[in-house]
Amino acid sequence: MAAQALSANGAKVYITGRRKEVLEKAAKTHSPSGGGQIIPLGPCDVTKKDDLERMYQELASKEKYINLLVASAGISGEKAEPDQENATDLKEKLWNNETFEGWNETYNTDVTSVYFTTVALLPLLQAGTESHGHLSASVIVISSMSGIMRHAQGHFSYNAAKGGTVHLTKLMSAEFQKIRVRVNSIAPGYFPSEMTAKESDENQKSSVPDDKIQEKGHVPQQRAGQDEEMAQAVLFLTKNTYVNGEIIAVDGGVLNVVAGR
């Protein structure tokens, strides 16, 4: 969604991920007919420093600077609904369905990779600001409404990790002002993706039916978010250089219903 929004508005967008065929298919399917473009880079596993350094070197060989990094990798991790009213039963369910390894993998992907991906690209981002003016280059971290709410949603590890992503955004925003790079975050609600829908089609797109969202009982908009709604948030944070360190929930009103912060 971010790549489409940016390229449709004239940007040259590099995308990366672990699967070369997925990157190539997404670029071929969604590159706009005029103006911008989507270009595969990598592949790259953002949880590995060597891959990130290779990605940086490849990008630096092609471009003198970048204006924006969108850090959007994430996994949902292990799930165990804390719905037992007896403490012994609750312990058994959570103890047997979650692991240290699962928690670590979720945190590593959802938080640590965001940090090291951003750090790896800081020189190109600072060069972007130097080319286009004060604090124009920026990072958009894709966190989640799950990192703001108090409802565990059956996955303590994911919501705790996304809480880490939210706070990491604030830390990087404050610390990276000195090199004139902004950092903000979009905290999506229920948007279709391979993580939420468990699949994608031949165009690398996913969908979540309205009735699946309505079953949750806490989504005022009664549907999943749409591509255009994510696009508007991405473009806003990309272009508005007076916004720094903000977490913008695009959640259909869920945080008005579910306790947050």
Tell me the catalytic residues.
143, 158, 162
DSSP 143-190: --GGGTBS--TT-HHHHHHHHHHHHHHHHHHHHHGGGT-EEEEEEE-S
Closest-CA residue to 190 (of 162, 167, 221): 221
Count of C-beta atoms within a 10 Å radius of residue 198? 10
Beta pairing partners, 188? 250
Do the beta carbons of residue 161 and residue 111 sit within 8 Å? yes
| CA geometry: angle 72, 250, 46, nearest 5 deg | 5
d(CA 233, CA 78): 29
Do the beta carbons of residue 227 and residue 188 sit within 8 Å? no
d(CA 66, CA 123): 9
Q: How far apart are the first and last CA of the chain?
A: 27
Strand runs (DSSP E) across 17-162, as ranges?
Answer: 37-41, 68-71, 138-142
Q: What's 17's DSSP letter? A: -
